[in-house]
Chains A and B, each alone.
Chain A
Amino acid sequence: MPDKQYVIGLYKEEDNAVAAIKSLKGSPFDLFEVHSPVPAEKINAELKKSKSKVGYFTLCGGIIGFITGFLLAIFTATRWSLIVSGKPVVGFVPFFIVGFEFTILFGVLGNILGFLVMSRMPARLAGKPYDERCSGEYFGVVATCDYGREEKLSALFTKNGADDIKVEKNKN
């Protein structure tokens, strides 16, 4: 869509942003993205977003971690089979601790990996429609319109109580 234009409507109140998104649905404009300084529960609800699936990464990490930790301990202990303190070479109680710590470690690594993969980070911001105030206190609703229809879209945002509107000039 080389001719698309981005318009960002900035809202202080989340409710207004939700209203804007609602009205976008019935309009010829497409909602492109929403930027927010805090998690926007109401917008999520409006867009009927399901819960993030990132937890599967965490779960996999944890399971892999537990197996890794436990097997690592068993593997290393059986390399030389040295008896210490009269205990069995493969001791399940102490090795459980290793397994546990590895569960947490790999779980967290999976968690991070899941986040980075699913939210496509790290990313470059340059060239994307973004308003710096969105990290402050504004909800930024980004919508696209055909070239030349920015005014209409802006009017829609204003109607829904936008505090400010920013038109991103398409560099193409």
Chain B
Amino acid sequence: MDRRTFLKLAGIGSLSFAAGCSDPEKTIYSLVKAPDDMVTGQAKWYATTCRECPAGCGVLVKNREGRVIKIEGNPLHPINKGKVCIRGQAALQGVYNPGRLKSPILKTENGLQNISFSDAENLLSEKFSIAKISGSGRIKMMTEVVSRPLYQIFDHIMTTYGADAPTVFEPFAYESLKTANEMVFGIDGLFSYKMEQSDFLISFGADFLDTWLSPVEYTIKFKEMHGVRNGKKGRFVHISPSQTLTAANADTWIPCNIDDETIVALGLIREMIVWGKGETLDKSLLGNLQSIADPYTIQKVSEQTGISERLISGISESLVKSRHPLVLGSGNSFNGERSLETCIASNLLNLLLNPDLSQLDFNERYRVETAARRSEIYNFFNEVSEDKTNLLLLNNVNPVFTLPKQSGVQKALKNKSVFVVCFSNFMDETSAKADMVIPVAMPLESWDVYESTSKVITTLQPAMKPLYGDPQIGDLLIRSSFKDVTETEFYKTEVIRSLVKKGSISTELQWLNMVRNGGLYNVPENKASFSKKLSKKIFDVLLLDRKETTIPLSLAIMPSVRFFDGRGANRPWLSEIPDPLTKVVWQAPVLMHPETVKRNNLKHGDMTAIETDNGLVEAIVYETAGIKENVLGISMRRDHTIDGQFIEDKEDSIFSLLSANIENLSGGPISHARVISIKKAKSSEPLAHTDGSRLQHDRKIAMAMPFSQYSNSQDHKKTHGGSGLSMHEFPLTLPIPEGYDAHRDIYPSHEHENYRWAMVVDLDRCVGCAACMGACYAENNIGIAGKRQIINGREMSWVRVERYLDPEDNKKVIFLPMMCQHCDAAPCESVCPVYAPHHSKEGLNNQIYNRCIGTRFCSQNCPYKVRRFNWFGWKWPYPLNLQLNPDVTARSKGVMEKCSFCIQRIKEAHTTAKREKRKIKDGEVIPACAQTCPSDVFTFGNLMDPESRVSKLVSDKRAYQVMGYLNTKPAVIYLKKILNEI
């Protein structure tokens, strides 16, 4: 454990409620009775759990003066190991969302009416009583994935009232994967993959870096297998219709039509059998498999899918050669008619390749497996529509948005005889239709436990007092309907009791330790039994001949790394930070292959109207080679205003384009629809994107080298430029005296005092997920410019992930995080008339905001274009302003700003070091971007210390500086990406 982590953990010992958070007072009073653990100016850290998606990552939440201001990963947590994704960073903007409801809302004849929490509670009790009197089964409940104790309470209530168990709704319920797991392994659930152990990975659309199962966990695992390890590097092939973030990170991405993954998978099964794999398997099983896969010769697969034979045989060869291959089934993006087959075939491939299945961890199961199948969800609403139900409880779900129109949800909610109660903090598509909306404390304000996986029980504790005094849903339900059943009054007690009952803890000290560490990470395994006896059904499914009607053009509704299923759209950071692949903000364009664009007489940037069997959507055309010709892709979007307010006049959600059809065997939804017509729309809007050119025009910006060159060449100098001084060959010139050379530099080097801060950015590790950007926005109070201003070119991000395409093959992507390079000979500094940017003794390029007069010369002269000007005074509408980091100035209009290497963290380390009379240790200062990065792209440290990690990394033969030919001597040293194609 490093020092910083230790300090944080030492700070989270307190179990008392975080200090209250209220409107800032005009008059300053001293706190007569300050909370026990509050020291003004000192942050408190609370270990809790991120609930922005069902993955359940452990987080440390920073609380300053009673307000949570920053989320960081909990290093002790086995799922995310101290890292958080962009959505986790943005959880704060859920808490401080201006659209967050301040009080319960009751729909009356006179419209919506604010009522008090106690009135809402009484009304809810009343409704429960009525339901009870009316007879059994009058209540129905639908909830998001919740913790086991909370689910138990829901369940108890439902049982008490003679109703069915609550239905767990998640838009991504992995029906086909679950069904395939059941059929092949006898496990109706979702288990984890030991991806880090594999050396060759094939994914048939499983977007494990975007949204699949547990993205942070798999980003970490993926980079463990895909990064250079003992001179070796794993390979990754991704086969899917669209280039998602995961696909963009594959060594080879193979575009295929929707549902053609099955054909490829079957072809690979055939190849593996031909190569003699699976000999340990049951003979009859192998025989059956052989007969099914036999028609899928490489030629046939190639013919049917359009994938070259060379590529397929290359993959199969690599599969055979690799020692620990792993195959992942389909993901959330393209749930089609044959997703189940793809998943079955993937499972079978794993079985063939690794008969001991060492990379599948059946004992570690994901909590999201409790989610009901889509077919059950549709049934649920159909039942509501039948007259029996009086009271419908919806806990933090938004089915009106995420379900197609024909799903019956609208009809169910319109039913006059049903009283619909939404436990939701926002007015969204569903709560707008509810009879009563009760906002409840958000996860960062609540007590709970959550089983991220079956091996982890992670705790939630309030990191601050609920902003508007909202009750916790557990407490609320206990009070309003559960009083007679249990003597407990608080949900927290119920949580502890359930843990004790389960045997997880037995003493209070254990509970305290559990909260302190953020959870229990050594939950005893209950060995899952799985049989290798394959169910006969597999072969029936694989023999089904159900896809022969080719759809000429289909529209797929895809999840995104930023919005997940659309739920993140009201977090301004997530809209403001560009999509990793398209670099589009605030909009969800329709991805279209250049051929398709041409065929439909459209242009990149045109507003187009796309009609499917079920609806019509208008979206801007985004021309990209990252999608198959006859597929259109559009991300699960929601329209929100800049301050997170819900736009009510958008009647139809993006999901209304889909049909309510399901795949019968797995009960999963179909996430694409046939396009009837596509034409230019009357309206128009410019594309809000933050990138200029998609190519780097051979400027030595994001560089890469083939793996063969990396592993063979022993000569350092040769690979990173050598002694040349041209655009094509240039030396690494470190921003320390050794980097200076009288032949090249007019001016002598300058000395630094003890430290020369520098950062190493490993492009081979960067997956482009933009978590760094989210962390930077949160840490450094970066303004939100909004759609219009970004169209005008005024994004404010201090670090941006540049995305460049290979000019030879537009399907190949390289990501490069770009931030202030803190050059030793910084072009920005000398041009400023007032010394606003200048060099610090420790080598930082400091920007003095209150000195800046706004000539913008520094930005003009910055070759890296990383400086950001405050064109306006950016607004943080209440309560977003409560999130601002008090250690960082909120810049006013008319001044320039940029990455400071998180100077506030450096200063903090200085203070600590000075107090302890020592120098700052390596790794003691971690900038926000480096802290959160799931793939450890960034290493920060002191270049003057020869023992520091950065000093060691810069001697890597991949080290180079972006546009090193300019001789600005940047302190950000990049390591080239390593290419390792099939």
Contact = CB atoms under 8 A, between A and B. Distances in A.
Contacts of A85: 825-831
A86 B826 CA distance: 7
Contacts of B969: 86
B755 to A, nearest CB: 15
Contacts of B829: 83-85
A84 B838 CA distance: 5
A81 B717 CA distance: 36
Q: Of residues A82, A84, A85, which shows the largest number of chain B Cβ atoms within 10 Å of its Cβ?
A: A85
A85 B824 CA distance: 7
Interface string B759-798: 0000000000000000000000000000000000000000
A87 B835 CA distance: 13
A95 to B, nearest CB: 13
Contacts of A88: 747-748
A85 B825 CA distance: 4
A87 B830 contact: yes
A88 B825 CA distance: 11
B838 A86 contact: no
B441 interface: no
Contacts of B825: 85-87
A159 to B, nearest CB: 69
B750 interface: yes
B272 interface: no
Interface string B821-850: 001111111111001011100000000000
B832 A86 contact: no
Contacts of A80: 835
Interface in B19-35: none
B747 A84 contact: no
Interface in A21-72: none
B838 A82 contact: yes
A97 to B, nearest CB: 13
Interface residues of B, number: 19
A87 B832 contact: no
Interface residues of A, number: 8
A49 B255 CA distance: 97
Nearest to A85: B830
Nearest to A94: B830
B833 to A, nearest CB: 11
B839 A86 contact: yes
A105 to B, nearest CB: 18
Nearest to B751: A83
Contacts of B832: 84
Interface string A77-101: 0001011111110000000000000
Nearest to A80: B835
A146 B658 CA distance: 119
A82 B835 CA distance: 8
A85 B831 CA distance: 9
B729 to A, nearest CB: 23
A85 B748 CA distance: 12
Contacts of A83: 750, 829, 838-839
A85 B829 CA distance: 5
Nearest to A83: B839
A82 B829 CA distance: 10
A82 B823 CA distance: 15
B923 to A, nearest CB: 28
Q: Of residues A82, A86, A87, which shows the largest number of chain B Cβ atoms within 10 Å of its Cβ?
A: A86
Contacts of A87: 747, 825, 830
B714 to A, nearest CB: 33
B764 to A, nearest CB: 30
Contacts of B828: 85
Contacts of B747: 86-88
Interface string B731-770: 0000000000000000111100000000000000000000
A84 B835 contact: yes
A75 to B, nearest CB: 15
Interface string A12-26: 000000000000000
A84 B861 CA distance: 13
A7 to B, nearest CB: 62
Nearest to A88: B747
Contacts of B831: 85
A83 B831 CA distance: 12
Interface in A135-161: none
Contacts of B748: 88
A86 B837 CA distance: 12
Contacts of B823: 86
B835 to A, nearest CB: 5
A76 B128 CA distance: 79
A88 B826 CA distance: 13
B349 to A, nearest CB: 57
Contacts of A84: 826, 829-830, 832, 835, 837-839
A96 to B, nearest CB: 15
A85 B830 CA distance: 5
Q: Of residues B749, B823, B829, B832, which shows the largest number of chain A Cβ atoms within 10 Å of its Cβ?
A: B829
A86 B838 CA distance: 10
Contacts of B839: 82-84, 86
Nearest to B969: A86
Contacts of B830: 84-85, 87
B554 to A, nearest CB: 56
B835 A86 contact: no
B227 to A, nearest CB: 34
B862 to A, nearest CB: 11
Contacts of B824: 86
A134 B831 CA distance: 55
15 contacts: A80-B835, A82-B835, A83-B750, A83-B838, A84-B829, A84-B835, A84-B837, A84-B838, A84-B839, A85-B828, A85-B830, A86-B749, A86-B824, A86-B825, A87-B825
Given A84-B829, A85-B828, A86-B839, 11 more contacts: A82-B838, A84-B826, A84-B832, A84-B837, A85-B826, A86-B747, A86-B750, A86-B823, A86-B969, A87-B825, A87-B830
Q: Across chains A and B, which 6 residue pairs bring their CB atoms closest together, nearest first? A: A86-B825, A85-B830, A84-B829, A83-B839, A84-B830, A82-B838
